[in-house]
Amino acid sequence: MTRPVHLSVKNVSLSFGGTKALHNVSFDVYQGEILAIIGPNGAGKTSMLNCMTGFYRPDEGSITFDGHEITTTPPSKIAGLGIARTFQNIALYTGLSTLDNIMAARHIHFKYGMWQSMLYWVGGALKEEIRHRQRVEEIISFLEIEHIRKATVGALPHGLRKRVELGRALALESRVLLLDEPMTGMNLEEKEDMARFVLDIHERQNMTILLIEHDMGLVMDIADRIVVLDFGVKIAEGTPDEIKNNPEVIRAYLGQEHEILN
């Protein structure tokens, strides 16, 4: 039985001046799968995610989420629809604590506005904040970062900041999670921990995950399907076994990644 399509990218093209970042790219993301996008540096992977989350507007083509077109939808509304992401370059509030960073992502779920919050102690705003804080504490416990819950994020090492950013994405309670190189800059132990968290999120929440990652061994281990981009063009799509033996993929990686793929 074919799984429902969550996200659908159809004939998307994107240019910056005379540079073609994406050219006529199409693929689907199915509900409950882990789809990886791979490719050499400059292949257009992050540009694709930026189009899918409203940060870039494609020159041509369309992107739909659960059948509704989101090609021109702003990022804040896309997050509200149920799509969350992490960034290649960590985007956190460096002067705030771990807890406050994750709590900040809960704002789209707050029902009480400024005037209702003025009655904080006698109205429902207090109960609402307690509920949100409980959810944030659950995320902190899941990601095993209780020891840094009050630590200032800007003072944390890279691997822990990546974990906090994942926590902030989880706080949005999305249906689709887009991860842009979540393991870049990590040592082997940190990568293994992050891979474990990604798999747990996928299995426990039946979360649909789109992953950009350069570690081919890791991609081959956890992805259900893989899309390969090269200079903004999709050159292959298939299962890990199909991709590792695809001659176009091997050529795109100039033989270096061929050793890893096999």
Q: What is the pLDDT of residue 121?
A: 46
Q: What is the pLDDT of residue 118?
A: 44
Distance of alpha carbon 74 from alpha carbon 213, whole angstroms: 25
Homologous superfamily in CATH for domain 1-82+174-262: P-loop containing nucleotide triphosphate hydrolases (3.40.50.300)
Measured distance between the N- and C-terminal CA atoms of the chain, rounded to whole angstroms: 30
- DSSP class of residue 67 equals T
Q: Do residues 136 and 171 lie in contact, with contact meaning Cβ atoms separated by under 8 Å?
A: yes
Q: What is the pLDDT of residue 109?
A: 57
Distance of alpha carbon 202 from alpha carbon 215, whole angstroms: 19
What confidence tens digit (pLDDT) does each residue in 74-112 have? 988 898 888 998 887 777 888 889 998 898 887 765 555
Tell me how far CA of residue 40 lies from CA of 66, 180, 182, 230, 255, in angstroms: 30, 14, 16, 7, 12
Q: What is the pLDDT of residue 143?
A: 95
pLDDT at 147 over 60: yes
pLDDT at 51 over 80: yes
Q: What is the pLDDT of residue 126?
A: 60
pLDDT at 47 over 80: yes
Element containing residue 117 per DSSP (H, E): helix 114-117
> What number is the average pLDDT over the span 17-22?
90
Distance of alpha carbon 240 from alpha carbon 155, whole angstroms: 38
Distance of alpha carbon 100 from alpha carbon 81, whole angstroms: 23
Instruction: Tell me the pLDDT of the chain averaged across its residues.
Output: 86
Q: What is the pLDDT of residue 172?
A: 86
Q: What is the pLDDT of residue 114?
A: 42
> How many of the other CB atoms lie within 10 Å of CB of 119?
12
What confidence tens digit (pLDDT) does each residue in 195-224 have? 999 999 999 888 999 999 988 889 999 999
Domain edges within the chain: 1-82+174-262, 92-173
